[in-house]
Chain A
Amino acid sequence: MSDAPAATMRRAGHRKARVEARRAGGGPRAPSLGALPLLALVAAAGLVVIALGNNAARDGASGAATLFWAGLTLIYGPIAYRLLSASASRSERIGLVVLMGVALFLVRVLYSPILYPPFDELATWRQTHDLLETGRPFTDNPIAAGFPAFPGLETATAAIVQLAGLSIFHAGAVVIGVARAVLMLALFLIIERVSRSARAAGIGVAVYACNPSFLYFDSQFAHESLALMLGGAMLLAVVSWAEPRRLDARASLGFVGAIVLLAWVVTITHHMTSYLLAAFFVVWALLAVRVSRRPSAIASSSPHPDGPIVKRSSPPGLLSRGPVFPAVLLCSTTAVWFVFVGGDDTIEELGGVFSGAIDSVVRLIIGGSGPKTLFQGSGEHNPTLARAFAFASVIPLLALIPFALRRAWRVRDPLWHALATVALLYPVTLGLRLTLSGTETSQRASEFVFVGLAFYAAVLIVEMPLPKRQMRRLRDLSLAGLATVMFCGAFIVAELPTTRQPGPFLVGADARSVSPHGLAAAEFADRHLLSSARILADRPNGTLLGSYGDLDPVLGQIDGIPVARVLFHERFDRVDRRVIRDDEIVYVVIDQRLSRELPSLGFYLEPDEPGAFRRTEPIDPAALEKFRLATGVNRIYTNGPIAIYATSRLSSSR
């Protein structure tokens, strides 16, 4: 062979290698921040625009929503575009995904920047507060019964409050902010390790941010926000451990130690995350067992920074390095925790959610009830454009699934198949949105299902043929535009029009129902009323009084009678007295504003109350006024709309 053809072949080889590297998202070899500083400035400007939009919304001014959507687009769009680009370096991509995560977390902070709104966040606040007061993490939580059994977040937050002298609000923001940043990095590394492409990893994280829970729900001061990061870290540890490369015994021991620690931390932090992660490991392990029985299993030859890749004809030992050990481990820790600590609370909390979803689906199938209009809720209606965005956030992902399955079929890696299984659940969770009760289950499943969707979306995009240079920018722009539509549409799917931004007071709208009157009543209760006394109140006021007021709101039924009846019934009769006496309700809190309008979320006290989601008229004002003239009930506090009645005279006439 002459030198010339050899040189030509070498050049062709180098060119091919460069193309491969670009596809893999390697970009420039040397670490470089690239466009990160500029995009950080753009994202910060987006935050300012959102802050201005939220202030305008609080004042009821026009243009509030436009500013909000413009700010969101400024944050998400440019970062998504850059992550799609083949020229960004790996370091830049890592910086960009962390920037995206933190900036979008701050969007939630801007929604409520000085105090936690109802519901979950104040329940966590109460649990943390009680831990700080008593030094014990398992005290009863009157706002959310299931919270005491999973004290991971509260213990970490309380440690920061105690040591660093921050308030619970600021300590919680630090913990969840750190968790968000680390979750983004963990997701990036997981997708990169599985796909062997930094570009796919960046795109995957951008797609993951399009899950409906990402912007608000998973930025809350609540268990799941922290557990997702811990679960991501555990999945990353297992994926790294199971990689086909040489590991000495010492390094293997390190992986086992980290996996054991993380399994326990996930278990004590959040039920749903630990159960779904365990289920994922079980599926992966079963698929791995199936594959290991076939000849010529996985083979990988891509370079990886962690060490040399070993070409092999069979996967690493399933028990020594693979998903079987973490599957068994996590199933064991969750089972132990369920049996000895969290079982009752978990059944109480999740049982209702799942049984409601199953019941609704069954009734939908047998024709007992008609389907709910997709992406509408509780009497609130999205405009046509918003509904178009909501559908646009779903259709590309549904269209992706057949291609994902086809792609998974071509790979013999059980982890790819496990991720495809997760992606396959997306249409199922979407179907749940056709029912009112199933919507919550669908919403809560999205952050898990999107791991599979994000992975395959990223892989398929990276494997698209590279167009010519001038067309490449157009393609990236189109994809970034589509991703931005999906991101905004997912937020429309997740939040009612009234809960997307702060604003004037609304009835039964959690964060929008927090008013100075409610806060003043809670402050009064903390100073003057019996600590942990049982109160009957609507949900937003009950949550404020149950947290800042140190009282215990009551819900549910007593002797088969819903306690909500006391607020709904027009006359104060014997049944009301019986409910108050038997449920040991010490104070009844009445907010006259409840009779002004229907509750935004569909209920006043709880989703199970009589008439929830079906009301056509608000509470009769007479039902709220009846306490003024009721005997045995003392109006001991009023600030105008809110009055607190003491029921001790009823107890005395027992």
Chain B
Amino acid sequence: MSGLGWARAPDLAATIVAALFAIGVALLADSGPVATVALLPLVLVLPGYALTAALFPPGTIDRDFRIVLVAALSIGVTALSGLVLQVFVDLSRGVVAASLAAVTIAAAVAAWRERRGRHRDVATRSWSWLTAGSAVALLAAIAIAGVAIAIASGGANRHLDAPRFSALWLVPQGAPGIPPNGPPVIVGVSNREGRETGYRLSVRHGRSTVGVWRLRLAAGGEWETTLAASELGGAGPLVARLDRDERAYRRVALELDSRPGSIADE
């Protein structure tokens, strides 16, 4: 690469390599830490860095302004390219990755050509302002902020887990119809009591009993069964009753309609 003058622009070479690496990772890994580390910069840094380099050759703007533009243009290019591409294709993972990598590489090449013509040296950066003590303090601050988030997350999770309840449902399965003209009915129970809990579930259709189940669900557990349409031929509403600790606890009901086609056209 140095033969092509890339040694003058190691930042641009690194940008292109990072974009290509990101594409490689996108092909191989859907998620996980590697995908996060490799692909996050493809949205937040690389397109903006390359575009800023193409728009502003070294020496034309200061470093701080460049940082603002890198972030703003990265997010901006992601949004604008998505807006243009959605006219032609759906915004799938491959489309997004390929478009961002293409913008990055094209802009980096344009910046490199510009830089080659200008014969301007890239300013070297010194890290002398960052002492070991400062670095340790900043890392410690980040760690403490992480602790704060962990404390808050723990509190929020406890808060959401605190109420104890169980849920009962009786619904037609996955379609607008109600039996016997529609699909079967699902009856289900979920246990959010925070402990293993015993239930008695009974389902009646009019005066006839469709079924009685004695359930023991672990904390967070769930139970469901399907009542086939053939079992639901009687008259009157379908009623599910859930007893807990031998006492009536929850009740749901579904009025069945035997008129042909009466509900299915909802």
In B140-180, the 8 Å CB interface with A consists of: 140-145, 147-149, 151-163, 165-171, 173-176, 178
Please state if A268 and B152 are interface contacts (CB–CB under 8 Å): no
B36 at the interface (CB under 8 A from A): yes
B3 at the interface (CB under 8 A from A): no
Chain B residue numbers with a CB within 8 Å of A164 are 31, 35-36, 39-40, 43
Chain A residue numbers with a CB within 8 Å of B235 are none
Please state if A44 and B129 are interface contacts (CB–CB under 8 Å): no
Q: A55-B152, A156-B78, A640-B165 are in contact. Are A134 and B141 (CB under 8 A)?
A: no
Chain A residue numbers with a CB within 8 Å of B230 are none
A194 at the interface (CB under 8 A from B): no
Please state if A515 and B72 are interface contacts (CB–CB under 8 Å): no
Contact of B171 among A134, A153, A636 (CB under 8 A): A636
- Which one of A5-13, A27-35, A427-435 contacts B? A27-35
Interface string of A155-175 (1 = CB under 8 A from B): 110111011111000000011
A363 at the interface (CB under 8 A from B): no
Q: How far is the CB of B143 from chain A (nearest CB, A)?
A: 8
Q: A47-B145, A164-B35 are in contact. Are A152 and B64 (CB under 8 A)?
A: no
Q: How far is the CA of A305 from the CA of B62 in the complex (A)?
A: 7
Contact of B159 among A31, A111, A502, A637 (CB under 8 A): A502
Q: How far is the CA of A182 from the CA of B72 in the complex (A)?
A: 8
A569 at the interface (CB under 8 A from B): no
Please state if B141 and A58 are interface contacts (CB–CB under 8 Å): no
B252 at the interface (CB under 8 A from A): yes
Among A51, A253, A586, which residue has the most Cβ atoms of chain B within 10 A?
A51
Q: How far is the CA of A233 from the CA of B130 in the complex (A)?
A: 27
Please state if A254 and B60 are interface contacts (CB–CB under 8 Å): yes
Contact of A178 among B44, B90, B93, B161 (CB under 8 A): B44
Which residue on chain B has the smallest CB distance to residue A252?
B60
Q: How far is the CA of A276 from the CA of B68 in the complex (A)?
A: 21
Q: How far is the CA of A634 from the CA of B159 in the complex (A)?
A: 31
Q: How far is the CB of B204 from chain A (nearest CB, A)?
A: 15
Q: How far is the CA of A162 from the CA of B42 in the complex (A)?
A: 12
Q: How far is the CB of A638 from chain B (nearest CB, A)?
A: 5
Chain B residue numbers with a CB within 8 Å of A638 are 167-169, 250-252
Number of interface residues of B (CB under 8 A): 105
- Which one of A258-266, A279-287, A475-483, A486-494 contacts B? A258-266
Contact of A639 among B40, B72, B143, B165 (CB under 8 A): B165
Q: How far is the CB of B116 from chain A (nearest CB, A)?
A: 14
Please state if A515 and B163 are interface contacts (CB–CB under 8 Å): yes
In A607-654, the 8 Å CB interface with B consists of: 632, 634-640, 646, 648-649, 651-652
B253 at the interface (CB under 8 A from A): yes
Q: How far is the CB of B45 from chain A (nearest CB, A)?
A: 10
Q: A37-B138, A113-B153 are in contact. Are A265 and B35 (CB under 8 A)?
A: no
Q: A36-B134, A164-B36, A251-B56 are in contact. Are A135 and B86 (CB under 8 A)?
A: yes
In B56-106, the 8 Å CB interface with A consists of: 56-57, 60-62, 64-65, 67-69, 71-73, 75-80, 82-83, 86, 89-93, 96-97, 100
Chain B residue numbers with a CB within 8 Å of A47 are 144-145, 148-149
Q: How far is the CA of A236 from the CA of B56 in the complex (A)?
A: 15
Q: A51-B151, A226-B75, A637-B169 are in contact. Are A160 and B40 (CB under 8 A)?
A: yes
Chain A residue numbers with a CB within 8 Å of B31 are 164-166
B263 at the interface (CB under 8 A from A): yes
Contact of B91 among A158, A257, A261 (CB under 8 A): A158
In B18-53, the 8 Å CB interface with A consists of: 22, 26, 29-32, 35-36, 39-40, 42-44, 51-52
Q: How far is the CA of A313 from the CA of B235 in the complex (A)?
A: 94
B254 at the interface (CB under 8 A from A): yes
Contact of A156 among B43, B64, B254 (CB under 8 A): B43
Q: A520-B167, A637-B169 are in contact. Are A162 and B137 (CB under 8 A)?
A: no
Which residue on chain A has the smallest CB distance to residue B190?
A520
Is chain B's interface secondary structure helix, strand, loop, or mixed overall? Answer: helix
Q: How far is the CB of A229 from chain B (nearest CB, A)?
A: 7
Please state if A151 and B79 are interface contacts (CB–CB under 8 Å): yes
Contact of B165 among A135, A247, A516, A524 (CB under 8 A): A516
Q: A106-B145, A158-B91, A164-B35 are in contact. Are A237 and B69 (CB under 8 A)?
A: yes
Please state if A258 and B60 are interface contacts (CB–CB under 8 Å): no
Please state if B36 and A165 are interface contacts (CB–CB under 8 Å): yes
Chain A residue numbers with a CB within 8 Å of B80 are 261, 264-265, 268
B205 at the interface (CB under 8 A from A): no
Q: How far is the CB of B183 from chain A (nearest CB, A)?
A: 12
Contact of A634 among B78, B90, B144, B255 (CB under 8 A): B255
Please state if B138 and A269 are interface contacts (CB–CB under 8 Å): no
A293 at the interface (CB under 8 A from B): no
Which residue on chain A has the smallest CB distance to residue B151?
A51
Q: How far is the CB of B28 from chain A (nearest CB, A)?
A: 12
Please state if A50 and B168 are interface contacts (CB–CB under 8 Å): no
Chain A residue numbers with a CB within 8 Å of B129 are 30-33, 91
Q: How far is the CB of A265 from chain B (nearest CB, A)?
A: 4
Chain B residue numbers with a CB within 8 Å of A134 are 90
Which residue on chain A has the smallest CB distance to residue B134?
A37
Please state if A114 and B157 are interface contacts (CB–CB under 8 Å): yes
A52 at the interface (CB under 8 A from B): yes
Q: How far is the CB of A268 from chain B (nearest CB, A)?
A: 6
Please state if A528 and B171 are interface contacts (CB–CB under 8 Å): yes
Q: How far is the CA of A226 from the CA of B75 in the complex (A)?
A: 9
Please state if A306 and B78 are interface contacts (CB–CB under 8 Å): no
Please state if B192 and A114 are interface contacts (CB–CB under 8 Å): no
A40 at the interface (CB under 8 A from B): yes
Q: A163-B35, A164-B40 are in contact. Are A33 and B71 (CB under 8 A)?
A: no
B208 at the interface (CB under 8 A from A): no
Please state if B75 and A156 are interface contacts (CB–CB under 8 Å): yes
Chain A residue numbers with a CB within 8 Å of B253 are 634-635
Q: Which residues of B contact A (CB under 8 A)?
A: 22, 26, 29-32, 35-36, 39-40, 42-44, 51-52, 55-57, 60-62, 64-65, 67-69, 71-73, 75-80, 82-83, 86, 89-93, 96-97, 100, 114, 128-131, 133-134, 137-138, 140-145, 147-149, 151-163, 165-171, 173-176, 178, 186, 188, 190, 192, 237, 250-255, 257, 259, 262-263, 266
The 4 A-B residue pairs whose C-beta atoms are closest, nearest first, are A165-B31, A135-B90, A37-B137, A55-B155
Q: Which residues of A contact B (CB under 8 A)?
A: 30-33, 36-38, 40-41, 43-45, 47-48, 50-52, 54-55, 58-59, 91, 94, 103, 106, 109-114, 131, 134-138, 151-153, 155-156, 158-160, 162-166, 174-175, 178-179, 181-182, 185-186, 188-189, 226, 229-230, 232-234, 236-237, 240, 247, 250-251, 253-255, 257-258, 261-262, 264-265, 268-269, 305-306, 502, 515-517, 519-521, 524, 528-530, 586, 632, 634-640, 646, 648-649, 651-652
10 of the cross-chain contacts (CB-CB < 8 Å) are: A37-B134, A58-B155, A160-B40, A165-B31, A182-B67, A230-B75, A306-B61, A517-B165, A639-B166, A648-B263
Could you list 9 further interchain pairs (A-B, Cβ under 8 angstroms) beyond the known A261-B76, A516-B162?
Answer: A58-B158, A114-B153, A152-B79, A160-B43, A186-B72, A250-B114, A258-B56, A520-B167, A635-B251
